[in-house]
Amino acid sequence: MTVWLWVGFIVLVLGMLALDLGVFHRRPHVIGTREALAWTAFWVIIALLFNSAVYYMYEHHWLGIGLHIGHQLGGRQAALEFFSGYLIEKSLSLDNIFVIAMIFAYFRVPAVYQHRVLFWGILGALIMRGVMIAAGVALIRRFDWITYVFGAILFLTAVKMLLTSEESVEPENNILVRVARRWYPVSPNFEGQRFFTRIDGRAAVTPLFLVLLVVESTDVLFAVDSIPAIFAVTRDPFIVFTSNVFAILGLRSLYFALASLMDRFRYLKLSLVFVLAFVGVKMILAHAFPDALSIEASLIVICSILAVGMLASVLAARRMGRLGLRAGPAESDTAATSTVSGSPDAKSRENPRTPAPRGEITGQAS
């Protein structure tokens, strides 16, 4: 039964992804804000429906879940843990969205090709996170003290985010990009949505493939923070994995909805710092005081931190608007806006052989 439960969930996820790419986004097009918001709402509703299903699965022990599969939890506790994990992962992914926008701006990826990169990037992220979650569960079961390590990682990450004023991307230093350029020539132009092509009869990669590599490697770094954070609210492997998956599934649409507006949420990063610090401290203390803070109290604290950050950002944006100032750095705003709405040159949206991005990245391997 355990195998069939996991297989059934993975088939469900792959089916939704197949519908997304094969039916709804079969033809490449620039995704507007209205469409992105509609898809964001769709994925949130799907996650909440599955959250309800989690309640009934654990409450009535469908397929032995909550008895022989996962931890022995009641329906209410399981549903709260799923929602808490989903909320943590969803909030931490907002910082990931801004970095993805910077990557697209660096490579000058036309908006019409961005959905394809994010689709395959998220598919790879699901596989890598599944492996990392399995490893995390195994470590926690074998070594109780590993929770201190996870908690310390989260707390140190929060401190690093607090001390880092601006984020930057340096694809030329990315090890995957360097390996790809060493073994394959890189085409000088985007070849439509293709990741691979041929140059003088030799197999080659396109700049879009390099973008995919950078996005994938960036997600691994973010997963190092987000996955331990979920272990702070639940140790159930099924809940950890499913809540993480549903948060990731909506990342593409959330990117297109918010990337051009991220500069308006100037205090969002600060709220994420406090969320990471909170779950890190909670994880460190949970070993000695397992009942010190209930899942309900943790959820209230996390929601309050995020709400304060969002409210402060909205008030700051309104104040800046009245003063005729920008809510964030002009460069970041320009980069994010150009990657979502498309290149300033309208031809870059339609021409399948768009001029390549920076030469030092896409130059042919020797």
Number of structural domains found in the chain? 1
**Region of poorest pLDDT, from 299-308, 334-343, 351-360:** 334-343
Task: Please check whether residue 283 is in contact with residue 231, taking contact to mean a CB–CB distance below 8 angstroms.
Answer: yes
What is the rounded CA–CA span in Å between residue 134 and residue 76? 24
Residue 330: pLDDT over 60: no
pLDDT in tens, 85-136: 999 988 888 878 878 888 888 888 888 888 888 888 888 888 888 888 888 8
Per residue in 331-353, pLDDT (tens digit) is: 444 444 444 444 434 444 444 45
Instruction: Write down the pTM of the prediction.
Output: 0.79
Q: Which amino acid is at 289?
A: F
Comparing 44 with 364, which gets the higher pLDDT? 44
Q: State whether the Cα torsion 246-127-107-355 is positive or negative.
A: negative
Looking at residue 84, its pLDDT comes to: 92
Closest to 227 in 3D by CA, of 69, 70, 93? 93
C-alpha 125 chain-centroid distance: 8
Q: Once rounded to an integer, what is the mean pLDDT over residues 250-262? A: 78
**Partners of 298 in the beta sheet?**
none
* For residue 321, pLDDT beyond 80: no
Angle at 197 between CA 201 and CA 103, to 5 degrees: 145
CB 295 within 8 A of CB 77: yes
Please, are residues 277 and 236 in contact by the beta-carbon 8 Å criterion?
no
Q: Is 141 exposed, middle or buried (0-12, 13-18, 19+ CB in 10 A)?
A: exposed
Residues of the chain above pLDDT 90, percent:
11
pLDDT on residue 288: 72
Determine the pLDDT at residue 347.
42
CA angle 149, 150, 154 (to 5 degrees): 115
The H or E element that residue 202 is part of is: strand 202-205
Structural domain span for residue 28: 2-362
Please compute, for residue 81, the number of CA atoms within 13 A of its CA located in the half-sphere on the CB side: 27
Residue 187 has pLDDT above 90, yes or no: no
Over range 141-158, report the average pLDDT: 86
In the chain, the percentage of residues whose pLDDT exceeds 70 is 80
Residue 363, pLDDT above cutoff 60: no
For the record, the structure tokens of 203 come out as 């197999």
Average pLDDT over the chain, rounded to an integer: 79
pLDDT given for residue 365 in this prediction = 40
pLDDT value at 37 more than 80: yes
Q: How far is CA 118 from CA 72, 170, 253, in A?
A: 36, 19, 9
